Structures are given as structure tokens and as C-alpha cells.
Amino acid sequence: MLTSSRRYIYKGNSKFGAITIENLEGGDQSSLKYRLFVDGEEVWNTVVLSPPPPANDKTGSSFWDRLKIAV
């Protein structure tokens, strides 16, 4: 049973969380998927997407290049 509400799942003797991070097609965004398993069955999951890059991004492509401009 998959649900989208946040709540504490108190049942079960064994709990395991799995995280998957992937680049989306095109490479401009990425996704983080979290899945919760209780007693070996997936009981909850959620996906978080990174924000799209700005349309007029004229800074360097790396974090360190952007930090140089901001300082």
C-alpha cells in the first residue's frame, strides 16, 4: 500500500530506506527518490526534483565558478 501522506509507520520489525539519485534526460535536472520498506514490502515513496536551471545563466557551470562571482 503506497501513500503520499507523511506519517510515522509504527508497524513492522524491519525497516529499510532506499535512496536513488538520477540525472533526468537532458542532464539539466536530477531526481531523488526515497522508498521505505517495512518487513520487506514497499510501504511509502516520494520523489524530489531539483529546480530547473535559470534560462539566462551566464556564470560558469560549476559550483566553484558561481561562488567566485558571488564573492
Give tens-digit pLDDT for 12-53.
889 999 999 998 887 788 999 999 999 999 999 999 999 887
C-alpha cell at 17: 530506506
Asked whether residue 3 is assigned to any structural domain, the reply reads no
Enclosing domain of residue 45: 15-70
Q: How confident is the model at residue 2 (pLDDT cuts 50, 70, 90)?
A: very low
CA distance 12 to 42: 12
Say how far apart CA 39 and CA 42 lie, in whole Å: 9
The pLDDT of residue 3 is: 45
Does 46 map to a domain?
yes
> Please, what is the Cα angle at 46 between 42 and 50, to 5 degrees?
145
Residue 65: CB atoms within 10 A of its CB come to 11
Specify the pTM: 0.59
Number of domains observed in the structure of the chain: 1
